[in-house]
Homo-oligomer: A and B are copies of this chain.
Amino acid sequence: MDDAKEKSTQQPVDVQVPAAVVSRLSLYLRELQELVRAGQETTNSTQLGKKLGFTDAQVRKDLAYFGQFGYPGIGYRCEELIPAIKRILGTDRSWPVAVVGLGNLGRALLGYRGFDEQGFRVVAAFDVDPDQLQQDVDSVETFHLDRLSEVVKEKAIRLGIIAVPAAAAQEVATKLVDAGVDGVLNFAPVTLALPDHVSRVGVDLAIELEQLSFAVVNRPENP
């Protein structure tokens, strides 16, 4: 407001940012990365909004929470906005991540290429079944759950992914938190009770399908 030339505000934000804004930020990042792959150098709020189904005003407002990234008359330079959003999301670094649970889903996550591309490195996987711990999976080292705390500390892991059956999820979550993890991504279909200082994101695969089924059943015309 004083120094209009100052671009981007770096690091954590003081005003409380709505979760909806943060999730759109990730979508903007994804689109920008695709635009770069398509060879586009600049974009603007109208184009970005159209691709994602948002208004241009919303795109500009969302970005304005974090600083000034655009150029009036031009739009946004992809190669500038991408690192800016990464910095905001905290993915301008590479986060070491632990996966707990070596069932089908856990194994799929160990092999998921998208994580590395976006700043996450699965560096350890845990299970309680010795049969699952015979060798590395997708070149990720595997450990017995008993060694969680030790390995989390050694590898400076701050994020944990829970891919165990529902019945085990709370116990695993508690162990992750006791081990010092700051955030958990939970794929088990249960609500975790955890201290407030731990960040949580939940993905319930069946719930995603339920949302789809509701949308299909409640479509304008067509019960």
Interface residues of A (CB under 8 A from B): 11-13, 17, 19, 22-23, 25-27, 29-31, 34, 51-52, 88-91, 95, 97, 103-105, 107-109, 111-112, 114-115, 117-120, 158-159, 161, 182-185, 189-191, 197, 199-201, 203-219, 223
Contact = CB atoms under 8 A, between A and B. Distances in A.
30 contacts: A13-B218, A23-B207, A26-B204, A27-B191, A30-B189, A30-B207, A31-B191, A89-B213, A89-B214, A90-B213, A90-B216, A103-B108, A104-B108, A105-B108, A112-B205, A114-B204, A114-B205, A115-B205, A115-B209, A119-B213, A159-B209, A159-B216, A182-B216, A183-B215, A185-B209, A197-B219, A199-B215, A201-B208, A201-B209, A201-B212
A109 to B, nearest CB: 7
B159 A213 contact: yes
A90 B215 CA distance: 9
Contact of A30 (B22, B91, B184, B190): B190
Stoichiometry, copies per complex: 2
A209 to B, nearest CB: 5
B30 A191 contact: yes
A211 B107 contact: no
B115 A218 contact: no
